[in-house]
Amino acid sequence: MKDAKLGLTMFWVGAAYIFGASWVAMWWLAPVWRSAPAEQFDGTAWSFGGPIFMSIALSIPVGVLLIVLGSMLYGQAERTRVAAFAAGAVALGLGILLIPTLSYYPVGFGVLGGLITALFLGALLVRARNRRDLEPSERTASDLHMAATIMFFVAATTSCSMLGNPFGGLFFPERIIHDGSLPWYYSMGSKIAVFFTLGFLFNFLSQYVSYRHRSSRPPTPPPYTSA
């Protein structure tokens, strides 16, 4: 019970940090950064890499670590499982912070895009086979999860197309300007945000339906043991 309370506290602290720094604060900060040249903020708390920027940049890796640990403790996970997810969250956070030091490899988008497609097809095939043995309410949760997977797949492949395609992408910004294709990129960026939102919505609904189904079941009697 003590671990569950600690976990719930860690979860909400991490959630508040992420929500407050990376969403709420940006409604106020983004217009400030957008309305003036970057040179104006050099040497101030508002500069790139300054305390305000870093508090926002760290909100995802630190917040995710707190949320992962909190949710695992609240869910009464085994200690080894908690440690494994904590290590994964730390690795993910380091990966986010180290991204600016990586080079740009257009071919990587093609390789990873192929892996994403193969894994997407494999997951849907396994889900289809597994669905036959599910109860009706469990099938609803499974179908919602499939809808979430589809949205994430479309968002991922569209992102690869935007960032790694040979007609533009990050490697050829001059072609984007020359061909006047910025409106296309703006449109795709907005659609990616919508795809991700729908994916998370369907994933939430899947988890909620699954939870409601389990909570409506009568409690399982303890196994009979003879005196």
Question: Which pLDDT score is estimated for 221?
Answer: 55
Tell me the percentage of the chain whose pLDDT exceeds 90: 22
**Looking at residue 218, what DSSP letter applies?**
P
Write down the residue that tokens 């795709």 correspond to.
188
Q: What is the pTM of this model?
A: 0.71
- Listed by start position, the domains of the chain span 1-102, 104-218
Tell me the pLDDT tens digit for each residue of 102-126: 677 777 878 888 899 999 999 989 9
Angle at Cα 48 formed by Cα 45 and Cα 51, nearest 5°?
Answer: 40
Tokens of 96: 């986010």
| Mean pLDDT computed over 57-85 | 86
Tokens of 35: 């309305």
Three-state DSSP at 135 gives: coil
Q: Which of 187, 201, 105, 113 is nearest to 154 (CA)?
A: 113
- Max alpha carbon distance in the chain (Å)? 85
Q: What is the C-alpha separation between 48 and 42, in angstroms, rounded?
A: 8
Q: How confident is the model at residue 53 (pLDDT cuts 50, 70, 90)?
A: confident
CA dihedral 149, 152, 153, 155 (to 10 degrees): 160
Write down the residue that tokens 């959630």 correspond to.
15
Angle at Cα 188 formed by Cα 119 and Cα 170, nearest 5°?
Answer: 80
Q: What is the C-alpha separation between 137 and 23, in angstroms, rounded?
A: 35
Which of 31-35, 95-99, 148-152 shows the highest mean pLDDT?
Answer: 148-152
